[in-house]
């Protein structure tokens, strides 16, 4: 699959993977900053953004997509950043193709299976009768009935685009993502990777707990865990300066 992507800067490759319901556009500001040091590739994963839709959505397929992307762009070695679902794609990639990675940053994602916790987001998505919605403000008003956090609403609204004049559509394949949610939330395979890894977690997030730390070290022995203060799951958006400093401090050492 030929993945849509944005490119910033020059230098050693740095590949960035967004999370569930996200896109490469979410990383524009940080990618510009990273572009002062690296050649940054911000990718839309399958069934997201401007990349193709497919009936298959698994970590195996996304890992293969990423491997093909490396080959297509002549990337022989890269740093890899992945947030949430993108972080789990990154970990799968490190298990399968460690020879292609210099270092990896996993943003607020553990290796364990997660319980279903997107019900309110899916409820908001399904509440939008797109053929009859005429503005983004109208869409946000409907979303607010299901999703309290304004930041999450704005995050989702970035997926809406004007298919034609007066007709909104999703840039994410909602039907397939919802159907494959169990697999998206599944645990990482128990295979050790020696890729140097930085696990970043938000202080206010519950994705990586204290009791998860030993299991992270078991599968990624050459890893460290760092906490971003005053940040939740979207730590790169909530505390971009701290996130940037943590990534650069790790990758440049």
Question: 133: closest CA among 170, 172, 168?
Answer: 168
Question: Which residue of the set 23, 24, 84, 96 is catalytic?
Answer: 84
Known catalytic membership, residue 84: yes
Question: Which residue of the set 18, 48, 233, 236 is catalytic?
Answer: 233
- Please state, as a whole number, how many other Cβ atoms lie within 10 Å of the Cβ of residue 141: 12
Residue 191's contacts (CB-CB under 8 Å, 6 or more residues apart) are: 95, 219
Query: CB of 125 within 8 A of CB of 156?
Result: yes
Known catalytic membership, residue 79: no
Query: Which residues belong to the active site?
Result: 84, 233
């Amino acid at each position: 699959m030929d993945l849509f992507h944005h490119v910033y800067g020059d230098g050693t490759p740095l590949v960035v993977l967004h999370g569930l319901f996200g896109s490469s556009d979410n990383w524009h500001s940080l990618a510009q900053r990273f572009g002062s040091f690296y050649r940054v590739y911000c990718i839309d994963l399958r069934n997201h953004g401007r990349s193709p839709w497919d009936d298959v959505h698994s970590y195996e397929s996304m890992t293969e997509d990423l491997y093909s992307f490396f080959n297509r762009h002549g990337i022989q070695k890269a740093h890899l950043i992945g947030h949430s679902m993108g972080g789990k794609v990154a970990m799968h990639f490190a298990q399968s193709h460690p020879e292609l990675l210099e270092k990896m940053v996993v943003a607020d994602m553990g290796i364990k299976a997660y319980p279903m916790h997107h019900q309110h987001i899916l409820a908001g998505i399904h509440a939008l009768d797109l053929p009859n919605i005429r503005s983004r403000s109208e869409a946000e008003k409907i979303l607010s009935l299901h999703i309290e956090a304004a930041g999450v609403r704005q995050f989702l609204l970035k997926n809406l685009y004007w298919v034609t004049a007066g007709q909104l559509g999703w840039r994410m394949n909602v039907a397939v993502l919802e159907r494959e949610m169990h697999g998206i939330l599944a645990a990482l395979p128990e295979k050790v990777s020696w890729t140097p890894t930085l696990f970043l977690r938000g202080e206010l997030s519950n994705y990586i707990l204290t009791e998860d730390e030993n299991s992270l070290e078991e599968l990624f022995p050459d890893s460290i865990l760092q906490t971003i203060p005053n940040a939740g799951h979207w730590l790169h958006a909530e505390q971009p300066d701290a996130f940037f400093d943590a990534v650069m401090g790790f990758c440049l050492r």
